Structure 1
Amino acid sequence: MAEEVRTVTGRRGPAPLPDGWQRLALGDLCSLQVGPHVRPDDRTGADGGVPLVLPRDLVHQRITQADRVGLAPAKALTLERYRLAEGDLLLTRTGTVGRCALVTRKQHQWLYTQLVRLRLRTPDLSLAAYLTGYLSAGVAQRWMERRSAGATIPSISLRDLGDLPVLLPPLAERKAIGETLAALDEKVRIHQEIARTTGEYRALLADLLMTGALPLEPERGP
């Protein structure tokens, strides 16, 4: 995954890693599972069924359901092996390839569709947080983009995803990197929520002011 360098033989190879770092394949760290097909008539609204995560719900490395979609209980019972667990990652592999999000305790036992679930072979929340940051970083994004280019609808295979190289620092550094990027993602999310709420308030206020429903006293001079 590191930038390639030219060796003394003239061939290109991966740049050397810092002391204590490892280069592993994503498939060595995680199992990969494509979500099931879910028909529109199996879905429910916001008040019923098991919550269902769609690609549009992956926003800034978090799962954000603006319009909650569920799955009918009878259908959900047939999809038990697609349940999510805290520490899983979800990733888009078609269309806008490479958007990812970390599954938190809130989404435990939810279901997903049109996404790939990455589940660590050995549960480790700090590693899950690091991988979320790693997969959303430019180096990993460019790697996935190169392997999904050329089709009318960009898509990357599970085999290619499993081959994606992951640079893994020592434990303490890995935890610090994951926590730093997660904190920044949260700041982005909060600022976007403030901007969205302010925009809605502005639209409402404009309607009230422009129709005379909310008179506004002009300022008087001295």
Structure 2
Amino acid sequence: MTSTDAFVPPAGWSCAPLRDLCASLQTGPARRAEDRGRTWADGGAPLVLPRDLQGQRILTGEAAHVPAIPPDGARTLVKYELAEGDILLTRTGTVGRCALVTGEHAGWLFHPNLVRIRLPEARQVSATYLVAYLSATAAQDWITARTAGSVIPSLSLRTLGELPVLVPPAAEQEAIGATLAALDAKIRAHTEIARVTRDYRSVLADALMTGVLPTEP
């Protein structure tokens, strides 16, 4: 299945456009030229970048590598602050990468090339289910079909709001979201192990090839 267009949902499931399930779809604020080069280490409100969306989570580096908005500018951008349970999605470039916002990044701001999806209190879908749905093949194919052919792929809020979302009963949503979130966590853990192992291999190779670390007889 590559699209929900010809798909008949199981009994008890429904289908609704994304805009009908959300409290808001919001792009990030434009950045001021004078703020460029400032980092979280300098103080202010840290900023989530598109590159930080990895494996359905937000993964940022050290404070010195995280861009930030100074306090005077951040005070005018309160409506762009992230809250736990929000979802971020890339809308230009590599369109469609998404991540669930956890308490770790609550209060942060987000890049203008990202869309913040905020669910209402009386929600029809859970955040964990929706981020799993948005990252699945059917939704990704739908997004790709509507951004293909552009020099720089871009997705408008209007188009994103039309994305059809399959909505199972609440208990099934929780089960689906929890199962896929657990697998995403395993993938991130194995990816980190692979990264650390590659770094260790590089350091070890340099030490062995220069004689700094002799081989055992």
> TM-score, normalization: structure 2?
0.90
Offset at residue 94 of structure 1 (A): 0.9
Match of 2:35 in 1: 42
Of residues 95, 98, 105, the one that matches 1:97 is 95
Match of 2:57 in 1: 62
Structure 2 distance, partners of 1:203, 1:123, is: 51
| 1:190 and 2:189 correspond | yes
Taking the TM superposition and a 5 Å limit, the aligned residue runs for 1:78-157 are 78-113=76-111, 114-122=113-121, 127-157=126-156
Offset at residue 208 of structure 1 (A): 1.4
CA contact (8 A) 1:24 1:168 kept: yes
Offset at residue 39 of structure 1 (A): 3.5
SS at match of 2:75: helix
SS at match of 1:117: strand
Q: Whose relative contact order is higher, 1 or 2, with alpha carbons under 8 Å and at least 6 apart?
A: 2
> Runs of 5+ in structure 2 lacking a partner?
none
- Structure 1, 67-76 or 165-174: larger mean CA deviation: 67-76
> Runs of 5+ in structure 1 lacking a partner?
5-12
Structure 2 distance, partners of 1:216, 1:45, is: 43
Q: Larger Cα Rg: Structure 1 or Structure 2?
A: 1
1:96 alignment partner AA:
T
Offset at residue 155 of structure 1 (A): 0.9
> TM-score, normalization: structure 1?
0.88
CA contact (8 A) 1:2 1:14 kept: no
| 1:52 and 2:47 correspond | yes
Match of 2:159 in 1: 160
Of residues 12, 27, 44, the one that matches 1:20 is 12
CA RMSD of aligned residues (A): 2.0
Q: Deviations over 1:66-95 (max 9, x none)?
A: 342222222211211100000000001111
Structure 1 distance, partners of 2:2, 2:198, is: 41
1:118 alignment partner AA:
I
Q: How many corresponding residue pairs?
A: 210
The 1:3/1:98 distance shift into structure 2, 3 A limit, reads closer
Q: Deviations over 1:42-83 (max 9, x none)?
A: 142242322210100000110001342222222211211100
CA contact (8 A) 1:129 1:178 kept: yes
- Structure 1, 148-157 or 129-138: larger mean CA deviation: 148-157
The 1:125/1:29 distance shift into structure 2, 3 A limit, reads closer
